[in-house]
Structure 1
Amino acid sequence: MSLTDEAISRIRGLIQSGELPPGARLPSEPQLAAQLGVSRNPLREAVKALVVARVLDVRRGDGTYVTSLEPRLLLEGLGLAVELLRDDTLLETVQVRRMLEPEATALAASMITAERLDEIGEHLAAMRAASDDVEKLNHHDAAFHRAVVRATGNETLSTLLDGISGRTLRMRVWRGTIEAGSSHKTVAEHEAIYNALAAGDARLAQAAALMHIGTTETWLRSVLGDVGGSRAQDGSAGGRRAQDGSAGR
């Protein structure tokens, strides 16, 4: 462990123990360095790293404070990390969504409020109206799912799924562009989810969400399979051409 990593670990220890709770002001740099038993240069680097991670907030002329440590703040960088994943991990991203979102939808069905249900219904209506506009349809598709997950009241879960959805949204736009009739299928699947939420039926809501995401995953697998098969055929054809050329020589 580097000296900077050690300083980060010790500051985290103060936060986790409650000695530096959310909103607390850190001691001055000399005091904190002495308290942690580290030199000031590694301490500065540790503070910089924790500022980037949204654990600390430097207020110029005032000092350095522990942030609220709320899930949405700490997990905000997840979306950026997911965006940077390689294209060959897209299927893995969809699989993670399949593991989390049906459970979240079931939880939402058991505790959804009339206000939240109305919000979800508005996005569904907008999806119906935009069935011929792939970009607009998928904008409301994403908003529909965000509202469903927010209905759980679980901010950590909501933030995690928000981080994943940005990447899968572009895939859904891609599907809507190349697959005939996909928009109408998408609207019908969202109607099934909405109806289950309106009925307060957690199991039905879970099943409807699982079917919806499973349909997307199945489509993606078929597309990736076709792409892989085409590449293999191109490679074989290239190999045959190379062999033919070799024979000609």
Structure 2
Amino acid sequence: MTLTSPRRTGLTDQVIAQLRTQITSGEWPVGSRIPTEPELVERLGVARNTVREAVRALAHNGLLDIRQGSGTYVRATSELAGVMHRRFADASPRDVAEVRSMLESSAARLAAERRTERDLGQLEALLVRRDDAWASGEAERFVAVDTTFHLAVVAASHNDVLGELYADLGDLLRGWLRDDVGPELRPEHLMDHRRLVAAIRAGDGESAAAEAAGYPFLCPGGRAPQEQQEQREQQERQEQQAQRDTGDQDTSG
């Protein structure tokens, strides 16, 4: 998709429309840096002030993030997603987990009732891609595939409103998953989604809903503080036991 020189009427609105199209079409993905102001001026053939005004408007709507000294980055793919970014930026991880649980369990229940063979094929393929991404050790790659998997479950519900809502949440979901996974993939963070797909394939809405409802609370950010403390203590005990076992082996050797 190429940028074209707009007509000389309503220049700012036309530039806004073109930039929005680059974003919503995926030409400029979330997290990517858009062309610099001089580059946009050259491509569009408009004045610098027009480009600056358009970028500021899209930043105000939540689609772009202007970072002084770094550039302008895509924050969201729609105005609603942008509003959600601003509204939920400081939300409690536990609150986020509860909302995800409600949405994802409802979607999984509907998916079990309405899925097509094409939906099932896509979910099975994404399971394979998810395993491959985990095996690669690349956290960002895994987050991208895992997000796509969750979006595919919602799509299999064949509820357009739920699909649109979750699509707008998709950018936020990617951020939440990125926080959950962290900079490196740890074995205790991997959740097997095969039972969910099996329940959807079997048309078992209750099992699918229950399986999906629990995932957000298994993520580190979704656990209550007490649960997080217990998790840390358990991990420390395991590490200490592993060290003792290693010491015993060295002594016996």
* Post-superposition offset of 1:117: 0.8
Counterpart of 1:155 in structure 2 is 160
Q: Point out where structure 2 has 5 or more consecutive residues left out of the alignment.
A: 1-60, 62-76, 230-253
In structure 1, the residue corresponding to 2:102 is in which secondary structure? helix
1:121 maps onto 2:127 in alignment? no
CA contact (8 A) 1:95 1:217 kept: no
CA contact (8 A) 2:139 2:185 kept: no
Which AA in structure 2 matches 1:104?
A
1:180 maps onto 2:166 in alignment? no
Q: Point out where structure 1 has 5 or more consecutive residues left out of the alignment.
A: 1-52, 54-74, 227-249
Q: 1:191 to 1:219 in 2, by over 3 A?
A: same
CA contact (8 A) 1:109 1:198 kept: yes
In structure 1, the residue corresponding to 2:157 is in which secondary structure? coil
Q: 1:150 to 1:205 in 2, by over 3 A?
A: same
* Post-superposition offset of 1:111: 1.0
Counterpart of 1:171 in structure 2 is 176
TM-score (structure 2 length as normaliser): 0.53
Q: 1:130 to 1:179 in 2, by over 3 A?
A: closer
The answer to which of 195-204 and 170-179 deviates more is: 170-179
CA contact (8 A) 1:97 1:161 kept: no
Q: 1:204 to 1:224 in 2, by over 3 A?
A: closer
CA contact (8 A) 2:97 2:222 kept: no
Counterpart of 2:203 in structure 1 is 200
Which AA in structure 1 matches 2:196?
I
- Greater percentage in helix: 1
Counterpart of 2:98 in structure 1 is 95
Greater C-alpha radius of gyration: 1
Which AA in structure 1 matches 2:158?
G
Counterpart of 2:243 in structure 1 is none
Structure 2 Cα separation of the partners of residues 110 and 194 of structure 1 = 12
Superposed counterparts of 1:60-79, under 5 Å: 76-79=78-81
Structure 1 Cα separation of the partners of residues 89 and 211 of structure 2 = 27
In structure 2, the residue corresponding to 1:85 is in which secondary structure? helix
Counterpart of 2:82 in structure 1 is 80
Which AA in structure 2 matches 1:181?
P
Q: 1:145 to 1:223 in 2, by over 3 A?
A: farther
Superposed counterparts of 1:128-147, under 5 Å: 128-131=131-134, 132-147=137-152
Structure 2 Cα separation of the partners of residues 223 and 165 of structure 1 = 28
Counterpart of 1:209 in structure 2 is 212
Structure 1 Cα separation of the partners of residues 180 and 220 of structure 2 = 11
Q: 1:217 to 1:206 in 2, by over 3 A?
A: farther
TM-score (structure 1 length as normaliser): 0.54
Structure 2 Cα separation of the partners of residues 223 and 88 of structure 1 = 21
Q: 1:88 to 1:224 in 2, by over 3 A?
A: farther
- Percent of pairs with identical residues: 23
* Post-superposition offset of 1:225: 7.6
Which AA in structure 1 matches 2:175?
R
Which AA in structure 2 matches 1:201?
D
Structure 1 Cα separation of the partners of residues 155 and 84 of structure 2 = 20
Structure 2 Cα separation of the partners of residues 217 and 199 of structure 1 = 30
Structure 2 Cα separation of the partners of residues 208 and 138 of structure 1 = 19
Structure 2 Cα separation of the partners of residues 220 and 165 of structure 1 = 21
1:110 maps onto 2:127 in alignment? no
